[in-house]
Protein backbone atom coordinates (compact mmCIF):
# COMPACT_ATOMS: atom_id res chain seq x y z
CA UNK A 1 0.00 0.00 0.00
CA UNK A 2 1.13 3.56 -0.38
CA UNK A 3 1.34 4.16 3.34
CA UNK A 4 4.31 2.80 5.25
CA UNK A 5 3.82 0.26 8.02
CA UNK A 6 4.26 2.90 10.73
CA UNK A 7 1.39 5.02 9.41
CA UNK A 8 -2.04 3.92 10.51
CA UNK A 9 -4.82 4.64 8.08
CA UNK A 10 -7.90 6.61 8.97
CA UNK A 11 -10.95 6.89 6.74
CA UNK A 12 -9.81 10.41 5.80
CA UNK A 13 -6.36 9.28 4.64
CA UNK A 14 -7.38 6.35 2.41
CA UNK A 15 -6.42 6.89 -1.22
CA UNK A 16 -7.46 5.16 -4.42
CA UNK A 17 -3.91 3.78 -4.60
CA UNK A 18 -4.37 2.23 -1.12
CA UNK A 19 -7.57 0.50 -2.24
CA UNK A 20 -6.07 -0.74 -5.50
CA UNK A 21 -2.98 -2.14 -3.76
CA UNK A 22 -5.23 -3.81 -1.20
CA UNK A 23 -7.23 -5.62 -3.92
CA UNK A 24 -4.05 -6.81 -5.64
CA UNK A 25 -2.64 -7.99 -2.31
CA UNK A 26 -5.75 -10.04 -1.60
CA UNK A 27 -5.43 -11.84 -4.95
CA UNK A 28 -1.74 -12.49 -4.41
CA UNK A 29 -2.33 -13.98 -0.95
CA UNK A 30 -4.90 -16.34 -2.45
CA UNK A 31 -2.57 -17.33 -5.28
CA UNK A 32 0.22 -17.98 -2.77
CA UNK A 33 -2.16 -20.13 -0.65
CA UNK A 34 -1.55 -17.77 2.29
CA UNK A 35 -5.06 -18.26 3.66
CA UNK A 36 -4.33 -17.22 7.26
CA UNK A 37 -2.95 -13.88 6.06
CA UNK A 38 -5.89 -13.60 3.64
CA UNK A 39 -8.40 -14.05 6.47
CA UNK A 40 -6.74 -11.16 8.33
CA UNK A 41 -7.91 -8.85 5.52
CA UNK A 42 -11.52 -9.42 6.58
CA UNK A 43 -13.51 -7.65 9.28
CA UNK A 44 -14.95 -9.93 11.96
CA UNK A 45 -18.50 -9.29 10.69
CA UNK A 46 -17.54 -9.72 7.03
CA UNK A 47 -19.26 -11.85 4.41
CA UNK A 48 -18.04 -13.50 1.22
CA UNK A 49 -20.90 -13.75 -1.28
CA UNK A 50 -21.17 -15.46 -4.63
CA UNK A 51 -24.69 -14.94 -6.05
CA UNK A 52 -26.39 -17.68 -8.05
CA UNK A 53 -28.39 -15.29 -10.22
CA UNK A 54 -27.77 -12.25 -12.37
CA UNK A 55 -28.24 -9.00 -10.41
CA UNK A 56 -29.24 -10.89 -7.26
CA UNK A 57 -30.01 -8.49 -4.43
CA UNK A 58 -30.43 -10.66 -1.35
CA UNK A 59 -28.11 -13.46 -0.26
CA UNK A 60 -30.45 -14.69 2.45
CA UNK A 61 -33.80 -14.86 0.63
CA UNK A 62 -32.38 -16.15 -2.65
CA UNK A 63 -30.11 -19.15 -3.16
CA UNK A 64 -26.43 -18.27 -3.54
CA UNK A 65 -23.47 -20.29 -4.73
CA UNK A 66 -21.74 -19.17 -1.55
CA UNK A 67 -22.61 -16.85 1.32
CA UNK A 68 -20.13 -17.27 4.13
CA UNK A 69 -19.44 -15.35 7.30
CA UNK A 70 -16.10 -15.44 9.12
CA UNK A 71 -16.91 -18.71 10.88
CA UNK A 72 -17.55 -20.48 7.57
CA UNK A 73 -14.52 -18.84 5.93
CA UNK A 74 -12.37 -20.03 8.85
CA UNK A 75 -13.75 -23.58 8.52
CA UNK A 76 -13.02 -23.56 4.78
CA UNK A 77 -9.45 -22.35 5.38
CA UNK A 78 -8.91 -25.02 8.04
CA UNK A 79 -10.24 -27.67 5.66
CA UNK A 80 -7.89 -26.51 2.90
CA UNK A 81 -4.93 -26.72 5.29
CA UNK A 82 -5.96 -30.02 6.88
CA UNK A 83 -3.70 -33.05 6.55
CA UNK A 84 -6.74 -35.33 6.30
CA UNK A 85 -8.52 -33.36 3.55
CA UNK A 86 -8.30 -36.00 0.84
CA UNK A 87 -10.09 -33.81 -1.71
CA UNK A 88 -7.00 -31.59 -1.51
CA UNK A 89 -4.43 -34.22 -2.48
CA UNK A 90 -2.85 -32.80 -4.54
CA UNK A 91 -3.67 -29.30 -3.31
CA UNK A 92 -5.71 -26.93 -5.45
CA UNK A 93 -3.91 -23.88 -6.75
CA UNK A 94 -5.22 -20.69 -8.31
CA UNK A 95 -4.23 -17.74 -10.40
CA UNK A 96 -6.09 -14.45 -10.48
CA UNK A 97 -5.73 -12.17 -13.47
CA UNK A 98 -7.22 -8.84 -12.43
CA UNK A 99 -8.14 -5.85 -14.50
CA UNK A 100 -7.17 -2.63 -12.74
CA UNK A 101 -9.61 -2.21 -9.81
CA UNK A 102 -11.99 0.71 -10.13
CA UNK A 103 -12.97 2.71 -7.09
CA UNK A 104 -16.73 3.23 -7.21
CA UNK A 105 -17.18 5.04 -3.91
CA UNK A 106 -14.97 6.81 -1.39
CA UNK A 107 -17.02 7.91 1.59
CA UNK A 108 -14.68 8.64 4.51
CA UNK A 109 -17.52 10.09 6.60
CA UNK A 110 -19.27 6.70 6.52
CA UNK A 111 -15.97 4.76 6.56
CA UNK A 112 -17.08 3.02 3.36
CA UNK A 113 -15.07 2.38 0.22
CA UNK A 114 -16.39 0.37 -2.73
CA UNK A 115 -14.39 -1.14 -5.56
CA UNK A 116 -15.19 -3.14 -8.71
CA UNK A 117 -12.70 -5.46 -10.36
CA UNK A 118 -13.09 -7.58 -13.47
CA UNK A 119 -11.16 -10.86 -13.28
CA UNK A 120 -10.24 -14.14 -14.91
CA UNK A 121 -9.59 -16.95 -12.46
CA UNK A 122 -8.06 -20.37 -12.98
CA UNK A 123 -8.23 -23.10 -10.36
CA UNK A 124 -6.27 -26.31 -10.86
CA UNK A 125 -5.73 -29.55 -9.01
CA UNK A 126 -3.83 -32.40 -10.59
CA UNK A 127 -4.80 -32.44 -14.26
CA UNK A 128 -8.15 -30.73 -13.66
CA UNK A 129 -8.53 -27.07 -14.55
CA UNK A 130 -11.50 -24.77 -13.99
CA UNK A 131 -11.74 -21.33 -15.58
CA UNK A 132 -14.06 -18.59 -14.34
CA UNK A 133 -14.55 -14.97 -15.32
CA UNK A 134 -16.50 -12.30 -13.52
CA UNK A 135 -16.47 -9.26 -11.30
CA UNK A 136 -15.51 -8.81 -7.67
CA UNK A 137 -17.07 -6.02 -5.66
CA UNK A 138 -15.47 -5.11 -2.36
CA UNK A 139 -16.92 -3.04 0.45
CA UNK A 140 -13.95 -1.95 2.52
CA UNK A 141 -13.59 0.05 5.70
CA UNK A 142 -10.81 1.13 8.04
CA UNK A 143 -10.52 -0.75 11.34
CA UNK A 144 -7.70 -0.18 13.81
CA UNK A 145 -5.64 1.66 11.21
CA UNK A 146 -5.92 -0.97 8.47
CA UNK A 147 -8.19 -1.67 5.52
CA UNK A 148 -10.64 -4.51 6.12
CA UNK A 149 -13.11 -6.22 3.81
CA UNK A 150 -16.69 -5.95 5.08
CA UNK A 151 -18.21 -7.65 2.03
CA UNK A 152 -16.75 -9.34 -1.01
CA UNK A 153 -19.27 -10.13 -3.72
CA UNK A 154 -18.10 -12.31 -6.61
CA UNK A 155 -20.42 -12.33 -9.64
CA UNK A 156 -19.48 -15.05 -12.10
CA UNK A 157 -20.07 -14.47 -15.79
CA UNK A 158 -21.13 -18.12 -16.13
CA UNK A 159 -23.10 -18.27 -12.86
CA UNK A 160 -25.81 -20.37 -14.48
CA UNK A 161 -23.49 -23.03 -15.92
CA UNK A 162 -23.13 -26.39 -14.21
CA UNK A 163 -19.75 -26.82 -12.54
CA UNK A 164 -18.20 -28.87 -9.79
CA UNK A 165 -17.17 -27.73 -6.36
CA UNK A 166 -15.29 -24.49 -6.16
CA UNK A 167 -12.47 -25.41 -3.79
CA UNK A 168 -10.72 -22.06 -3.35
CA UNK A 169 -11.65 -18.37 -3.27
CA UNK A 170 -11.97 -16.02 -6.22
Does the pLDDT of residue 161 top 80, yes or no?
no
Full-model pTM: 0.88
Q: Give the helix ranges, DSSP H, for the chain.
A: 16-31, 35-39, 70-81
pLDDT digits (tens, 9 = 90+) for 18-60: 999 999 999 999 999 899 999 999 999 999 999 988 888 898 8
Does the pLDDT of residue 87 top 80, yes or no?
no
CA-atom Rg of the chain in angstroms:
16
Residue ranges and CATH numbers for the domains of the chain are: 11-156 (3.10.450.50)
Provide the pLDDT confidence category of residue 3 given band limits of 50, 70 and 90. very low
How far apart are the C-alpha atoms of 38 and 77, rounded to whole Å?
10
How far apart are the C-alpha atoms of 62 and 15, rounded to whole Å?
35
Q: Is 132 left (phi over 0), alpha (psi -120 to 50) or beta?
A: beta
Cα 115 → chain centroid: 12
How far apart are the C-alpha atoms of 24 and 54, rounded to whole Å?
25
The mean pLDDT value for 122-141 works out to 89
Amino acid sequence: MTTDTLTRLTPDTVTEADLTAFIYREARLLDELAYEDWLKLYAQDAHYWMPAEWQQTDPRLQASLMYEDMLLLRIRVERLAGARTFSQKPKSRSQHLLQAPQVDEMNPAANLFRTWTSFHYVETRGDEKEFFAGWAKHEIRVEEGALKIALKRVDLLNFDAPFGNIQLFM
